[in-house]
């Protein structure tokens, strides 16, 4: 029987070499990590990356981005953030802010990092805050992985519930959920581009995923194309709501993921694969959860409610004020079709009203617009309490 204290190499190596071997291995690992990253921040990320690959487990990190540091959070943001920390005490929690986000991007994508000066230049040039917020989440998830979640999203369940027990974590490198599942509107002139999408206000992934870099590269190309079409610099581009959604938001996210799934599986992967899902699906290493997981309570897409066993987060939307800077299409008489919240009868009525308006003469259209504006003005008149006493 072998002596369990016998050296692995049977004592064949000289004692001095055997003593130095652990140090040599550590130095080798250090050299490997330094070859992929320069500064100490990037070095620690490289170590974490190799550890994630070796363990086959997602990095235990929770990421959020916001205007200010957590020490300066408003009570509502602090309350929501605490749900992630309290339910996942073994995870590291970090917030990138408007003060340190550029340093993060320069550190990891500058010459000492991935050496992508085009990414650094684009991020420096952007002034549209929602575009920067979308891009930053993808950059962070590419570099470090873990979980990204918007500042106004509450954790309902611990992160270990993100992966149903029937799956093995080592077989998964990304976890996403359905947000909008209304493909019957895919031919609608306004709703078509937004009717089928995965949620990007919360998702989990391993670091260095190809799909994240493909998405980042798609965004850079799109932004350069927009600037060229508008004849302005990146800092001066103007985007409406649909432009944001399709350029960096859920539609862009979904398009990149579907393309990556197709590449991973060698098969055509369309939204039909995820329509009316009754349970989660694993496609080419990407786990897709049902709409109830991340997007419950929307009132559409059969999204259920937040009391469901499978509901993992609750989106409060209090930080979703960006449409005020990037407005939706607003019909001068009939308003936004999005107000229908994907109700088929409401959308049909809106479409019919718009078609009827388009058939009017310019004079008749102007008359309807004037009437609408007058009605809105009267509705906004507020009678002070002291004046109400004089009204018979």
Whole-angstrom Cα distance, residue 301 to residue 343?
Answer: 10
* Nearest CA-CA partner of 172 in 247, 273, 284: 284
Whole-angstrom Cα distance, residue 368 to residue 47?
Answer: 65
Q: What are phi and psi of 167, to 5 degrees?
A: -105, 155
pTM: 0.85
Checking if the pLDDT of 354 tops 80, the result is: yes
Greater pLDDT, 54 or 333:
333
pLDDT at residue 67, as a whole number: 95
pLDDT at residue 231, as a whole number: 98
* Confidence band for 328, pLDDT divided at 50, 70 and 90: very high
To 10 degrees, what angle do helices 129-143 and 117-125 make?
150
* Confidence band for 43, pLDDT divided at 50, 70 and 90: low
Whole-angstrom Cα distance, residue 292 to residue 328?
Answer: 26
Query: pLDDT for 240-252, tens place per residue?
Result: 999 999 999 999 9
Q: What are phi and psi of 163, to 5 degrees?
A: -115, 110
What is the phi-psi region of residue 10: left when phi exceeds 0, alpha when psi lies from -120 to 50, beta otherwise? left
What is the phi-psi region of residue 233: left when phi exceeds 0, alpha when psi lies from -120 to 50, beta otherwise? beta
pLDDT at residue 52, as a whole number: 64
pLDDT at residue 49, as a whole number: 66
Whole-angstrom Cα distance, residue 119 to residue 215?
Answer: 12
What CATH class is the domain 59-329? alpha beta
Query: pLDDT for 111-145, tens place per residue?
Result: 999 999 999 999 999 999 999 999 999 999 999 99
Mean pLDDT (whole number) for 21-33:
46
Checking if the pLDDT of 325 tops 70, the result is: yes
**Burial class (CB within 10 angstroms; exposed 0-12, middle 13-18, buried 19+) of 84:** buried
Mean pLDDT (whole number) for 257-278:
97
Query: pLDDT for 74-89, tens place per residue?
Result: 999 999 999 999 999 9
Mean pLDDT (whole number) for 358-382:
88
**Burial class (CB within 10 angstroms; exposed 0-12, middle 13-18, buried 19+) of 15:** exposed
Checking if the pLDDT of 257 tops 80, the result is: yes
* Confidence band for 30, pLDDT divided at 50, 70 and 90: very low
Residue range(s) occupied by CATH 3.90.550 in the chain:
59-329
Instruction: Let me know: does 62 contact 149? Beta carbons within 8 Å.
Output: yes
pLDDT at residue 375, as a whole number: 87
- The rounded mean pLDDT for the chain is 88
Whole-angstrom Cα distance, residue 329 to residue 156?
Answer: 34
Q: Percent of the chain, pLDDT > 90? A: 79
pLDDT at residue 26, as a whole number: 43
Which tokens sit at 326? 């990037």
Q: How far is CA 323 from CA 108, 122, 273, in A?
A: 30, 22, 30
């Amino acid at each position: 029987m072998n002596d369990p204290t016998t050296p692995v190499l049977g004592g064949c190596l000289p004692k001095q070499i055997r003593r130095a071997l652990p140090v040599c291995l550590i130095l080798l690992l250090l050299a490997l990590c330094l070859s992929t990253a320069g500064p100490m921040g990037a070095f620690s990320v490289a170590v974490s990356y190799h550890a994630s690959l070796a363990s086959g487990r997602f990095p235990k990190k929770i990421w959020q981005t916001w205007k200010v540091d957590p020490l300066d959070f408003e009570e509502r943001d602090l309350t929501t953030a605490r749900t992630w920390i309290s339910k996942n005490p073994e995870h590291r929690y970090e917030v990138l802010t408007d003060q340190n986000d550029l340093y993060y991007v320069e550190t990891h994508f500058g010459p000492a990092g991935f050496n992508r000066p085009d990414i650094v230049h684009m991020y420096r040039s952007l002034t549209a805050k929602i575009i920067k917020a979308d891009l930053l989440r993808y950059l962070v998830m590419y570099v470090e992985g873990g979980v990204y979640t918007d500042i106004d999203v509450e954790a309902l369940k611990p992160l270990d519930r993100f992966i149903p027990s029937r799956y093995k974590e080592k077989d998964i490198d990304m976890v996403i959920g359905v947000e909008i599942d209304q493909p019957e509107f895919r031919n609608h002139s306004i709703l078509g581009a937004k009717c089928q999408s995965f949620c990007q206000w919360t998702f989990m992934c391993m670091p260095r995923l190809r799909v994240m870099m493909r998405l980042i590269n798609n965004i850079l190309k799109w932004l350069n194309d927009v600037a060229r079409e508008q004849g302005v610099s990146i800092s001066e581009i103007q985007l409406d709501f649909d432009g944001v959604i399709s350029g960096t938001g859920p539609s862009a996210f979904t398009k990149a993921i579907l393309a990556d799934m197709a590449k991973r599986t060698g098969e055509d992967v369309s939204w039909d694969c995820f329509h009316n899902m009754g349970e989660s699906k694993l496609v080419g290493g990407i786990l897709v959860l049902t709409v109830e997981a991340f997007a419950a309570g929307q009132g559409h897409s059969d999204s259920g409610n937040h009391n469901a066993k499978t509901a993992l987060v609750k989106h409060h939307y209090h930080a979703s004020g960006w449409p005020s800077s990037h407005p939706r299409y607003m019909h001068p008489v009939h308003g936004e079709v999005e107000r229908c919240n994907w109700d088929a009868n409401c959308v049909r009525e809106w479409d019919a009203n718009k078609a009827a308006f388009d058939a009017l003469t310019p004079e008749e259209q102007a008359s309807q617009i004037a009437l609408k504006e007058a009605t809105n003005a009267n509705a906004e008149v507020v009678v002070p309490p002291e004046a109400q006493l004089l009204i018979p």
